[in-house]
Amino acid sequence: GGFTAYTVAKAGLIALTRALAGEVARGVTVNAVLPSTMDTPANRQAMPDADRSEWVSTDAVAEVVAYLASDAAAMVSGATIPV
């Protein structure tokens, strides 16, 4: 259960990201990072038998966030980046 609620909430955040990117002041960027299942202690405990080979590391997400916060991404706005 809960997959519908998760999907609707995620779609709402994607739409909000795009809408805000079009409404905010010039020079302000709005982007979203969309990680899949994160490799965290909480997820390991909650799903001990899951195949973690495709789980996303916190470092991978941090690299995307660092890019979006850098000058290299100054022209990136309204993007939703899956990790």
Do 25 and 73 touch, CB atoms closer than 8 A? no
Q: Show the beta-strand stretches assigned E in 44-83.
A: 80-82
The single-letter code of the amino acid at 24 is V
User: Is 67 a catalytic site residue?
Assistant: no
Active-site option among 6, 13, 16, 66: 6
Q: What is the set of active-site residues?
A: 6
